[in-house]
Amino acid sequence: MAKKLYVGGLSYGTSEDTLKSTFEQAGEVTSAAIITDKMTGRSRGFGFVEMANDDEADKAVEMFNGKELDGRTLMVNEARPMEARAPRKPFNRDNRGGFGGGQRGGYR
């Protein structure tokens, strides 16, 4: 069964190909993804690697947690499921999105 790993501390210059080829030293990599900022497209400094099985994932954690890649020290551990977040409130006239410190704005 595949296991997903969280990889933190990535250099902004690290590519998904580099991440994948690095983790292939520990075993078969099913997927590798670096998370990017929606607005700038720049790396957010972390990503996820999915290993083909649990033994290879454990080996990857041992091999790469605390090790250096592209001049940065990696933090590697088993990824946790994403937590549910409350839905965002839409911006409207009565909900000013936190602007004005609770006072009425000049527009009406």
Which tokens sit at 82? 């994403």
pTM over 0.85? The answer is no
Whether the per-residue pLDDT at 99 is higher than 80: the answer is: no
55: domain CATH number? 3.30.70.330
- 38 lies in some domain: yes
What is the number of structural domains in the chain? Answer: 1
Q: What are phi and psi of 57, to 5 degrees?
A: -65, -45
pLDDT in tens, 32-79: 999 999 999 999 999 999 999 999 999 999 999 999 999 999 999 999
Asked whether residue 93 carries a pLDDT value surpassing 90, the answer given is: no
Query: Around 16, how many Cα atoms within 13 Å sit in the side-chain half-sphere?
Result: 14
* Residue 49 domain-assigned (yes or no): yes
The answer to whether residue 83 is domain-embedded is: no
92 is a domain residue: no
Question: Domain for residue 105, yes or no?
Answer: no
- Is 62 among the domain residues? yes
Which percentage of the chain shows pLDDT scores above 70? Answer: 83
Residue 89 belongs to some domain of the structure: no
Q: State the residue range of the domain holding 56.
A: 3-77
Query: Could you tell me which residue, 104 or 31, shows the higher pLDDT?
Result: 31
